[in-house]
Structure 1
């Protein structure tokens, strides 16, 4: 910051200077003052440089965007239902299997022996019951003995059915159709009841669940088409539909569940993949749109800055001196850059798509709005549009100096 001498010491210092030195100081101060101001320089320096874009009619689509993770509709853990040693493994990871297909076989010697014993006991019980039935008809067998033999027969029938069921458990079968995602056993392993053997995943279809804010409850509907872009697949897109909308809103998060369904015959989609889902729920073919960067959100209102031409200002000619002392105008005048003023407009916005926003009220077609530099302007601020071409001020010839 410059330092100034007090008035009296300055006067005494100047008094000690000789006249020639005093003239030199005055001349130097005059030169440092910058001379006369060129008309328009102050205005040009005060104008804020901005970039603008014109409002135009375009087609705009209303989208809801969200992220979700793909999940398999069917995902089953195949467990052992009996104890035994693994004798055969008939499938491997990645293989497609059908519901009921045999996946592995366990040692069945013990279960076959139990089945044979149950069968023999059942035959014995059947013979005893047949004898009691004849006796009851001839009224020589007590009723209590008949009932005992009948119950024994029913019990042995249940034992035989249980032994047959245990034998069937030695053949491990697929509970659902799908792809073998994981194999957890090896040949010769002794498996126990309820031990995990395989994991089967149904890849058709796959589902992704969106947690949507409740304000969009009336926007999304079952059956609407959706599109998912997968980051891991170089943003490749896949089409799907909204399978169902949850009938309730979660009070804790204020969201509801929208389940989207995707079918991919190429098997490119995998459970666990992360994707970005877009739902196009409406489209306007002749909407007035502006760039999203032009919108200013403040105090709960949306506004834009529209540029309007500033009041015209006279351009001063560049004047030089002729040989005879006459004042003549310069042959070429300096180009003058057009300036504008920024006017704030409250607008009503509509749909937004990408970097475009629909304007339903507040801006007319063709009006230019500030996109870059809007944070530096206020209502009435003089601005300079950077991409505008300069206007050439015509040369003016001055009359002879008097």
Structure 2
């Protein structure tokens, strides 16, 4: 079967080629063969374009909260600021926590000194035991004191580490890179444990959530390419891919959720914006298809194509009225008026006249 894909030479190159061919042709008036590009009408698997509207969302949108109660000493960001993972965003007053940590450090130092003394006494007792100067029970008591002091050091070090963690919890850091969407507190305010203080939105990985009719559940596949359009980008299209199909459908609307990953390195879209995802899905049917460029729409609403017929040693252009079926990305189904294998003009068809002789200068066959 011939390739029925759309011819895609640059428009400017085609116009230049057409001009050169016309200027290079000898004078001959309307009977002169017109240069055209053609393709062959062919039967192919049909697909349809499905446009679904939805909302741009972030993969991660977090309400950041404080892990301890305290007085807000400094808010280091504002709404709209872009932050990196690990950046400090908010600081609570740490004076009391720092004093508690200092006490814990002192307690650990004291316990270590007591442990060192207990170890010295134990070693001395062992030496005296060898010379039978002191009873064995006194040596065992000295060894027990070392174990007690060692346990005290371990306990106090754990308490010190706990206090250090409490001190660290007096700040809020960014768990991932993104943009501050909302600032919910100010310097000088008291906040309790669990209070949300900032909202952070990840903008590097956006997705478009749309709801698709349940009849298309098997047609829409993961990793399927998607074209994304938005009123926020009137002159641009973005690429995307289906990330997931959520099988739980809406029983009232008979739809299911489709999540599309958006490729947007320039951060053109933001969470909350509306956008439209265009899917190309197979119908399971076959039909005659031609490139969209072959179709000419007349003011009276009819659609036509130019069909090339061989007449002895000439090729003649004849206008043929057709009926269109499904619209695809760069092709269109012809439901009536055209047969498989017929040669159709795709370039140069704008200036043809009925019965005009043509010269084929390009073909995709």
Q: What TM-score, normalized by structure 2, do the two folds share?
A: 0.58
Contact 1:224 1:281 (C-alpha < 8 Å) held by counterparts: no
Q: Residue 85 in 1 paired to residue 71 in 2?
A: yes
Deviation at 1:185, TM superposition (A): 1.8
Aligned to 2:97: 111
Contact 1:63 1:282 (C-alpha < 8 Å) held by counterparts: no
Q: Deviations over 1:177-216 (max 9, x none)?
A: 1011111122222222222221111111211223334432
Q: Map 1:40-55 onto structure 2 (within 5 A).
A: none
Q: Deviations over 1:321-357 (max 9, x none)?
A: xxxxxxxxxxxxxxxxxxxxxxxxxx9x974559x98
Aligned to 1:128: 114
Aligned to 1:327: none
Q: Structure 2 vs 1, CA of residues 107 and 280 (structure 1 numbering), >3 Å: closer, same or farther?
A: same
| Whole-angstrom CA distance in 2 between matches of 1:133 and 1:62 | 84
| Whole-angstrom CA distance in 2 between matches of 1:263 and 1:143 | 68
Question: Given the alignment, which residue of 75, 94, 116 partners 2:61?
Answer: 75
Aligned to 2:265: 265
- Between Structure 1 and Structure 2, whose CA radius of gyration is higher? 1
Q: Deviations over 1:207-253 (max 9, x none)?
A: 1223334432332222222122224555864321112344x454946
Q: Deviations over 1:4-38 (max 9, x none)?
A: xxxxxxxxxxxxxxxxxxxxxxxxxxxxxxxxxxx
Q: Residue 365 in 1 paired to residue 338 in 2?
A: yes
Aligned to 2:208: 208
Q: Structure 2 vs 1, CA of residues 128 and 252 (structure 1 numbering), >3 Å: closer, same or farther?
A: farther
Equivalent residues, number:
251
Contact 1:214 1:249 (C-alpha < 8 Å) held by counterparts: no
Q: Map 1:123-272 onto structure 2 (within 5 A).
A: 123-135=109-121, 138=126, 139-141=139-141, 144-231=144-231, 237-246=237-246, 248=247, 250=249, 252=251, 255-272=255-272
> Larger deviation: 108-117 or 140-149?
140-149
Other structure's SS at 1:203 match: coil
| Whole-angstrom CA distance in 2 between matches of 1:261 and 1:85 | 40
Contact 1:181 1:199 (C-alpha < 8 Å) held by counterparts: yes
Deviation at 1:106, TM superposition (A): 2.3
| Whole-angstrom CA distance in 2 between matches of 1:90 and 1:364 | 69
Aligned to 1:307: none
Contact 2:219 2:282 (C-alpha < 8 Å) held by counterparts: no
| Whole-angstrom CA distance in 2 between matches of 1:199 and 1:97 | 12
Other structure's SS at 1:185 match: coil
| Whole-angstrom CA distance in 2 between matches of 1:73 and 1:189 | 31
| Whole-angstrom CA distance in 2 between matches of 1:121 and 1:72 | 48
| Whole-angstrom CA distance in 1 between matches of 2:250 and 2:150 | 60
Aligned to 2:354: none
Contact 2:66 2:171 (C-alpha < 8 Å) held by counterparts: no
| Whole-angstrom CA distance in 2 between matches of 1:215 and 1:235 | 32
Other structure's SS at 2:270 match: coil
Aligned to 1:62: 48
Other structure's SS at 1:103 match: strand
Deviation at 1:256, TM superposition (A): 4.3
| Whole-angstrom CA distance in 1 between matches of 2:265 and 2:69 | 38
| Whole-angstrom CA distance in 1 between matches of 2:105 and 2:181 | 39
Deviation at 1:263, TM superposition (A): 2.9
Other structure's SS at 2:60 match: strand
> Relative CO higher for 1 or 2, CA cutoff 8 Å, sep ≥ 6?
2
Contact 1:70 1:208 (C-alpha < 8 Å) held by counterparts: yes
Aligned to 1:382: none
